[in-house]
Amino acid sequence: MNKIISDIRETARQLLADGKVDVVIGYEKGSLPLKATPCFVHSAQEVDSLIWDETCENNLAAFVAKTPGKKAIVAKGCDSRALVVLLQENQLVRDDLYIIGVSCHGVIDQRKIGAEVGEILEASITDGKISVKGMEGDKEYLFAEVKDATCQTCRYPNPVIEDLHLGELIQVSQDVAAFADVAAMENKSESERQEYFKEQMSKCIRCYACRNACPLCYCQECFVDCNSPRWLTGGVDRAENLLFQAGRVLHLAGRCVDCGACSRACLQGVDIRALNRKMTKDVYEMYNHESGISEEGKPALNVYSANDPEEQFLVKE
Amino acid sequence: MQQNPYIPITMKLVKNLVETEDKLINTFTLEFLNKQDEENFKYMPGQFAELSAYGHGEAPFGIATSPTEPGILKFSVAKVGCVSNALHLMEEGTMVGVRGPMGNYYPIEEFKGKNLVIIGGGFAFTTLRSLAKYMLDPKHRGDYGDITVIYGARNPGLLLYKEELAEWENNPNINLVTTIDRPAEGWNKHVGFIPSITEQIAPSSVNTYAVVCGPPAMIKFTLPVLEKLNFPPERIYTSLEMRMKCGLGICGRCNIGTEYVCKDGPVFSMAQLKELPSEY
Amino acid sequence: MKISKEKFGQALDALIAEYQIIAPVSDANGIAFKGVKSFSEVKQDYLNSKLPPKAFFFPQHEKLMSYKKEGKDVTVKSELKVENTVLFGIRPCDAKGMQLLDMVFKNDQYTDPYYYERREKAVIIGVACQKIAPTCFCSSFGISPAGSEGSDLFLIDLGDSYDVEVITEKGKALAARFEALSELTADEQALVEKVKRAETTSKVDVSTTTSKLDKMFNSPYWDSLQEKCIGCNVCSFSCPTCHCFDISEEVRKNEGTRVRTWDGCMAPLFTLHGSGHNPRDHKKARWRQRMMHKFNYFVHNNGSMSCVGCGRCIKSCPVNMDIRQVIDGANKAELVVE
């Protein structure tokens, strides 16, 4: 067994046995190949179900505030960034939280594999190679080939906040954030972009899996559910869907940690991240801000600055 | 083909009356536009209807009139949401939509030859008014034994149907007991919560049915009192509220276990409720 | 009897003037049931659609009526629109799902005209599954990957031709328009028999589930079950038997429409009263409702479970809630003595 997994289990066992936490939120093997599932361990006897690998794609920070009691969480880089934002926004009590940090090389994009081999019958991961048996055929992949798009641009594979670190730290170049994907979208003509988003928005079925999978979409009443005033109709058409998706992105401006949980949760394969990434880039360029990277900071739009570059916004004397 | 149950009939709001001193409850009197609509709208005490405030939506409300009052329907509605707010603001003469009647009704056949104690709290008195009014009708009064009404509100200004209550005070066919939670100036009737007033003045449970409607806390504390007075669960009825949309037992939100409150209720006996999960 | 695919395609194409033809097609997003103009557009080698075909009778968003206000007056108009429809390529699980929906949209008191009039004007051509996925578990519910229940006509793919079985009068009327029906060869007959014997490899034992759930309303099972659910509606929206809906108003100045849209029991607002009280105020109560509805209440009310084992919710769930494990967990849950 891999050392990180045994360490996670041992840590969980200790925390639960010592009564330091009531529950450990981690991952266990899912019912489908290449799919891990969130798991809630309440007793030291159950820790052996915990795992850690490239299939642990959910952002567990989404569960923390909703889980009562003192809790430990297995957090990869993006989970930890979401925790930071939640702490900055007073959604969590730090003392009730024990963060088991794990470095993450990225998670597998199952959709990409499924599109090539059909429904996955069996799969195994060894030494960075993924062997897949599918209904339409078998295939072997290098991890890099099927790494989720989000993880390919990840600059924070190591947790930014943690109580314990397990595994080796991953080296990344910490220069500047790269936004080649956004730049490519910006370089398209307006009509091309319009076509692209029309197609994307026509796929949305408004099941709200994206919103609910997001660790930072925690509003008690989401604007889409509000009925007085009613911002959105129940209509499921491109315009209404765009209003929902764009509204969500705007609410996440300066807060989104680009974990990709929304895109991975989407059954319909809507490119939700295309909108989020643009917002992330704009916030990065305008405010020199990346969300959830240090506990001291505040979400970009929660800060008032007299040097705000947007002049009309400020009342000049 | 069966009439489309999603399409409301149009009725005219002929009176929009502020019912309580806190101005949170209004009684709407709606008039049928033609005989045909009225013929099709045959209802019994305890049933409800979906009212449409066009431009705002639709919501379910218990019918406060009795079928013995021809030509109109009355609804007493608390201002809580989008539709009720719109109705409160509506000018007299405006057309509203009505779908119904929906749901079951108080078992008035079963009540025949029996005494009845009607216990109501706050603005949940609406369908109880319908029931009392129905039984007091000269055509029906002979079918029933003694009728006792115990009706309470926080203070005198929150009692509904004040003129009617005054009339019932002096009507030998009905024994009306009104109560308020705390003493108030000018109030010379009962003071106290409904459960304790019920305990003091409820008639014998022999050959008697009880119908209880009100806020959950009131029902919760009144039921043990009725049990103590030896009312068996089969002879205690109540009417439940649920969030509803279609009113037809299809849209799936108002069920308690296997029963859809809109279609199989809203009237249930305590004996029935004991068999259902406590999810209401 | 069999018909060559070529002749079948021609027959289907000939129906276009009278019917809208809905069939599986392959798009960027996988397999979907869509309107087609010719049989050549139809995807023949497919597992099943990503979203169930229920939307053709029960659209995700539909107008029930429209109205126009003028001063204090209002005029109201029904928006019921129905077309003759042929649904081709419906898998046995989904055909059975439609029969279950029929029980919902026509109950002991009411018939839903929007659903029923479309349903009555539709002919279902079922096609036996050529492949069975690991997430398919219809055999658990007595449905077979080659089951004809719920179809009007049922086809089994024989390569260049289809074995044709007439199931209902509607199917018979449609089959009368097919030409060149011929007898199966002995080999083809053997193939048909083989296809009919197929079962799903994944099965879950539901024999005791309903009676077990009778006693489980207060079980602690629901506490642990709901923990990882994120409360979205993708399981309901991808389910061929989920039917809950919302009714709302879309208004522009003095005109408006009343619409109904898919809703789901996982949403907290689904049962929220105007007073703020919510009888199902926790995910635990909502999951219990989902399970109870499908495997207990529906059985008591309609005599059948409201799940057909299509596996869509398993594949679509972002956190891998697997309904097979949930059923199994309920079967095994310890009962609390009350």
DSSP codes, C132-185: --TT--GGGGT--TT--TT-SEEEEE-SSEEEEEE-SHHHHHHHTT----BPPP
Q: Give Cβ neighbours of residue C33 (< 8 Å, ≥ 6 apart).
A: C22, C23, C24, C25, C49, C51, C53, C55, C56, C87, C89
* Stretch 276-305 of chain C: residues touching chain B, C-beta under 8 Å: 277, 279-280, 285, 289, 292-293, 297, 300-301
Phi, psi dihedrals of residue A99, rounded to the nearest 5°: -100, 115
Mean pLDDT of A48-68: 95
Measure CA of the first residue to CA of the last residue in chain A; give whole Å: 67
Q: In what order do the strands lie in the sheet with C255-262?
A: C73-78, C61-70, C255-262, C245-252
Residues of chain C positioned with their CB less than 8 A from the CB of A233: 248, 250, 259
The yes-or-no verdict on residue C181 having pLDDT over 90 is no
Q: What pLDDT does A314 receive?
A: 57
Whole-number average pLDDT of chain B? 93
Phi, psi dihedrals of residue C45, rounded to the nearest 5°: -105, 95
Cis (ω within 30 of 0) for the bond into A33? no
CATH number of this structure's domain B9-102: 2.40.30.10
Q: Are B242 and C273 within 8 A, CB to CB?
A: yes
Radius of gyration (C-alpha) of chain A in whole angstroms: 20
Q: What pLDDT does C10 receive?
A: 92
Please, which pLDDT band fits residue A220 given cuts at 50, 70 and 90? confident
CB C296 within 8 A of CB C327: no
Q: Is C329 on the interface with B (CB under 8 A)?
A: no
Q: What angle do CA A165, A166, A170 make, to 5 degrees?
A: 85
Q: In what order do the strands lie in the sheet with A129-134?
A: A120-126, A129-134, A137-142
Chains in touch with B (3+ beta-carbon pairs under 8 Å) read A, C
Orientation of helix A190-203 relative to helix A272-287, angle to 10°: 130
Residues of chain C positioned with their CB less than 8 A from the CB of B279: 279-280, 285, 289
Q: Is B184 on the interface with A (CB under 8 A)?
A: no
CATH of B115-228, one of 3.40.50.10420, 3.40.50.80, 3.40.1180.10, 3.40.50.150: 3.40.50.80
CB B189 within 8 A of CB B178: yes
C221-262 residue pLDDT tens: 999 899 999 999 999 999 999 999 999 999 988 999 999 999
Q: Is A228 on the interface with B (CB under 8 A)?
A: yes
Q: What pLDDT does A313 receive?
A: 59
User: Three-state SS for B9?
Assistant: strand
Rounded Cα gap, residues A218 and A204, in angstroms: 21
Rounded Cα gap, residues C265 and A207, in angstroms: 12
Q: Is B243 on the interface with A (CB under 8 A)?
A: no
Q: What pLDDT does A301 receive?
A: 82
B4-63 residue pLDDT tens: 999 999 999 999 999 999 999 999 999 999 999 999 999 999 999 999 999 999 999 999
Q: Is B216 on the interface with C (CB under 8 A)?
A: yes
CB B176 within 8 A of CB B201: no
Rounded Cα gap, residues B255 and B272, in angstroms: 14
The yes-or-no verdict on residue A1 having pLDDT over 60 is no
Locus of tokens 């008191």? C109
Q: Are C74 and B7 within 8 A, CB to CB?
A: no
Q: Which two tokens stand for residue C5?
A: 């695919």
Rounded Cα gap, residues C330 and B230, in angstroms: 39
Say which CATH topology domain B240-280 has.
Dihydroorotate dehydrogenase B (pyrk subunit); domain 3 (2.10.240)
Q: Are C272 and B59 within 8 A, CB to CB?
A: no
Q: What is the DSSP letter of C40?
A: G
Sign of CA dihedral C310, C314, C315, C317: positive
* pLDDT above 90 coverage of chain C, percent: 87
Q: Which two tokens stand for residue B266?
A: 């809203």
Q: Which two tokens stand for residue A317?
A: 């004397």
C127-154 residue pLDDT tens: 999 999 999 999 999 999 999 999 999 9
Radius of gyration (C-alpha) of chain C in whole angstroms: 22
| Biggest distance spanned by C-alpha atoms of chain C | 75
Q: What pLDDT does A92 receive?
A: 95
* pLDDT above 70 coverage of chain A, percent: 96
CA proximity to C8, closest of C228, C215, C159, C195: C159
Residues of chain C positioned with their CB less than 8 A from the CB of A119: 47, 133-135, 315
CB A130 within 8 A of CB A89: no
Rounded Cα gap, residues A195 and A221, in angstroms: 32
Which residue does chain C place closest to B98, by CA atoms?
C76
Q: What pLDDT does A226 receive?
A: 82
Q: What pLDDT does C254 receive?
A: 92
* pLDDT above 70 coverage of chain B, percent: 99
CB C101 within 8 A of CB C241: yes
Rounded Cα gap, residues A69 and A42, in angstroms: 11
Distance of CA A21 to the CA centre of its chain: 24
Rounded Cα gap, residues C165 and B270, in angstroms: 52
CB C77 within 8 A of CB C66: yes
Q: Are A209 and C227 within 8 A, CB to CB?
A: no
CB C233 within 8 A of CB B215: no
Mean pLDDT of B117-122: 93
Q: Is B248 on the interface with C (CB under 8 A)?
A: yes
CA proximity to A102, closest of A2, A235, A245: A2
Chains in touch with C (3+ beta-carbon pairs under 8 Å) read A, B
Q: Are B95 and C292 within 8 A, CB to CB?
A: no
Which value does ipTM take for this structure?
0.92
Cis (ω within 30 of 0) for the bond into B224? no
Residue A190: what residue type?
E
Q: Is C80 on the interface with B (CB under 8 A)?
A: yes
Rounded Cα gap, residues C291 and C286, in angstroms: 9
Please, which pLDDT band fits residue C70 given cuts at 50, 70 and 90? very high
Q: What pLDDT does B109 receive?
A: 96
Q: Are B2 and C113 within 8 A, CB to CB?
A: yes
The yes-or-no verdict on residue A285 having pLDDT over 80 is yes
Residues of chain B positioned with their CB less than 8 A from the CB of A228: 81-82, 85
Q: Residues of chain A whose C-beta is under 8 A from some C-beta in C?
A: 30-32, 35-40, 58, 62-63, 67, 118-119, 121, 135, 199, 203, 205, 207-209, 211-213, 225, 227, 230, 233-237, 261, 264-265, 267-269
Dihedral angle computed from the Cα positions of residues B51, B52, B57 and B61, in that order, rounded to the nearest 10 degrees: -10
Q: Where are the beta strands (DSSP E) in chain B?
A: 9-18, 25-32, 48-53, 57-62, 72-78, 95-102, 115-121, 147-153, 175-180, 190-191, 208-213, 236-239, 255-256, 259-260, 267-269
Residue C110 CA neighbour count, 13 Å, CB half:
24
Q: What pLDDT does A14 receive?
A: 97
Which residue does chain A place closest to C266, by CA atoms?
A207
The yes-or-no verdict on residue B2 having pLDDT over 50 is no
CB C87 within 8 A of CB C50: no
Chains in touch with A (3+ beta-carbon pairs under 8 Å) read B, C
Please, which pLDDT band fits residue B203 given cuts at 50, 70 and 90? confident
Please, which pLDDT band fits residue A216 given cuts at 50, 70 and 90? very high
Residue A211: what residue type?
R
CATH number of this structure's domain A1-107+156-169: 3.40.50
Q: What pLDDT does B119 receive?
A: 95
Cis (ω within 30 of 0) for the bond into C318? no
The yes-or-no verdict on residue B1 having pLDDT over 50 is no
Whole-number average pLDDT of chain C? 94
The residues spanned by each domain of chain C are 2-197, 209-332
Q: What angle do CA A163, A164, A167 make, to 5 degrees?
A: 150
Mean pLDDT of C92-111: 96
Q: Are C319 and A135 within 8 A, CB to CB?
A: no
How many Å lie between the alpha carbon of A229 and the closest alpha carbon of chain B? 9
B142-201 residue pLDDT tens: 999 999 999 999 999 999 999 999 999 999 999 999 999 999 898 999 999 999 999 998
Q: What pLDDT does A57 receive?
A: 95
The residues spanned by each domain of chain B are 9-102, 115-228, 240-280
Please, which pLDDT band fits residue A312 given cuts at 50, 70 and 90? low
Please, which pLDDT band fits residue A302 given cuts at 50, 70 and 90? confident
The region that residue A104 occupies, defined by phi over 0 for left and psi between -120 and 50 for alpha, beta otherwise, is beta
CA proximity to B269, closest of B105, B123, B144, B135: B105
* pLDDT above 90 coverage of chain B, percent: 89
Question: Among the residues of chain B, which ranges form H helices?
Answer: 35-40, 82-88, 126-136, 138-141, 162-169, 194-201, 216-228, 270-275
Rounded Cα gap, residues A158 and A112, in angstroms: 25
Mean pLDDT of C39-64: 94
Between these two residues, B1 and B244, which has the higher pLDDT value?
B244
CB B86 within 8 A of CB B55: yes
The residues spanned by each domain of chain A are 1-107+156-169, 110-146, 176-308
Residues of chain A positioned with their CB less than 8 A from the CB of C250: 233-235
CB A203 within 8 A of CB C226: no
How many Å lie between the alpha carbon of B184 and the closest alpha carbon of chain C? 27
Q: What pLDDT does A306 receive?
A: 74
Q: What is the DSSP letter of C30?
A: E
Rounded Cα gap, residues A97 and A38, in angstroms: 17
Q: What pLDDT does C28 receive?
A: 79
Residues of chain A positioned with their CB less than 8 A from the CB of C267: 208, 225
Please, which pLDDT band fits residue A231 given cuts at 50, 70 and 90? confident
Q: What pLDDT does B220 receive?
A: 86
Whole-number average pLDDT of chain A? 91
Which residue does chain B place closest to C299, by CA atoms?
B258
CB B134 within 8 A of CB B45: yes
